[in-house]
Amino acid sequence: MKAQMKHHRNLYIWLGCVTVFLAAYFLLRQSRPLMNALTRWVTTPFKSLMSHLCSAVDVSVAEVIYLSLIAGAIFYVAGILRRFFTRGSDKWELLGRFVLTAVCFVLTVYAGFCLLWGVNYHTDTFQDRSGIAARQGSPAELRSLTERFAVELAEAADDVPRDEDGVFSADRRAILAAAPAVMADAFDTFPCLRMDDVTPKAFVCSRAMTAMDFTGFYFPFTGEANLNMDCPAAFLPSTAIHEMAHQRQIALEQECNFVAVAVCCRSDDPVFRYSGLLMGYVHLAGALYEVDPEAYWEIASALPEGVRADIRANNAYWDAHHTRFTDTSQKAYDSFIKSNGDPNGVRSYGMVVDLLLAYYG
């Protein structure tokens, strides 16, 4: 009995400490100088150390952690259920302790994400650090830039390997291996991106990532950039740079998309250049369609078959794997982004157009 009371007391102390930490975080995150100092001196060095330690193995340590947690949770819940149905009068106490433990665990993980990732929503942004400020452009400017990307994309389409169906087919592992060098080539243009990189990780359970509508994700606990290796490869190079941008403490998705396009488009590697142009074109063309559908169709119809094949393959893949779980996971991610101070949520992905107009316009 005394051991149980001590266990309960420890859980309440744990819960109290996590609650105090979260309250302090939500209160202090409004201080940008404090958040800048925290990321510079604490979280960034920690994540850089973790990413280099994890680079010693080829597998994604983040994936190992996720799978271990899932397996551990299954065995733990199964054990609790077995004890619940075989215990006597104290089974409700057992259930209460289980709920309290689960709440403590979830809040602790959330607190870790807030410390290692959430703070980046309240530090200097990529725009602050680079001096490139997003701006809205006129429909004429949007059409002109979309045409420019379409022309360069058409020229680059013949420089990448394709399969018998004419779809982009560059080696995925080679793409990940080349990503650090491609990023390093952009350091002179974007000094704020300078960092000692490690190779992004291939996620073995990529179908699970697809089910959640993710092409990649950054895991702050290990500092790893993880990539979906199952979806069409045409966007993999630019997605790899996108996730590596997150390693630079760039939280906003539209800024990471811009970094992916800008870094890839200036690369001498034809695979990365094509992928960057493709990502940029897709964003620009989507925005153009909203304001001038006729101009959109005029530009889109002039694209070579290889580009259209890549866009069709990508759309078909994601349409085929769209489920209710996809919507649920995206809503959860949207809520997480908004809880960390970005009111645009997942919609912020579309704002990359304003950055492209500012930089290339």
The DSSP output letter for 349 is: G
State the pairing for strand pair 216-219/224-228. antiparallel
For the segment 230-266, what is each residue's pLDDT rounded down to a tens digit? 999 999 999 999 999 999 999 999 999 999 999 999 9
| Amino acid letter, residue 260 | A
- Taking residues 185-200, what's their average pLDDT? 97
- Taking residues 32-43, what's their average pLDDT? 97
| Amino acid letter, residue 338 | K
Query: Which pLDDT does position 356 carry in this prediction?
Result: 97
State how far Cα 346 lies from the chain centre.
Answer: 11
State the pairing for strand pair 216-219/201-203. unpaired
- Quote the pTM value: 0.92
End-to-end CA distance of the chain: 72
Domain locations in the chain? 2-122, 133-360
For the segment 26-35, what is each residue's pLDDT rounded down to a tens digit? 999 999 999 9
| Amino acid letter, residue 35 | M
Q: With left for phi above 0 and alpha for psi between -120 and 50, is residue 342 left, alpha or beta?
A: beta
Q: By CB neighbour count within 10 A (0-12 exposed, 13-18 middle, 19+ buried), where does 54 fall?
A: buried
How far from 223 is each of 43, 218, 301, 337, CA to CA, in Å? 10, 7, 42, 19
- Taking residues 169-182, what's their average pLDDT? 98
Contact 216, 243 (CB under 8 A): yes
Nearest to 118 by CA among 336, 264, 346: 336
- Taking residues 73-101, what's their average pLDDT? 84
In a 3-state reduction of DSSP, which class is residue 291? helix
Query: Which pLDDT does position 9 carry in this prediction?
Result: 84
Q: How would residue 348 be classed by pLDDT, with cut points 50, 70 and 90? A: very low
Nearest to 233 by CA among 156, 317, 326: 317
Average pLDDT, the chain: 92
Query: Which pLDDT does position 104 carry in this prediction?
Result: 96
In a 3-state reduction of DSSP, which class is residue 226? strand
- In what helix (H) or strand (E) does residue 173 lie, and over which residues does it extend? helix 172-184
Contact 281, 150 (CB under 8 A): yes
- Taking residues 303-327, what's their average pLDDT? 89
Query: Which pLDDT does position 81 carry in this prediction?
Result: 86
Contact 237, 271 (CB under 8 A): yes
How far from 159 is each of 165, 182, 192, 204, 315, CA to CA, in Å? 16, 17, 30, 29, 22
- Specify the range with the lowest mean pLDDT, choosing from 88-97, 104-113, 194-203, 351-360: 88-97
Query: Which pLDDT does position 347 carry in this prediction?
Result: 43
| Count of beta carbons in the 10 Å neighbourhood of residue 113 | 16
pLDDT above 60 (res 169): yes
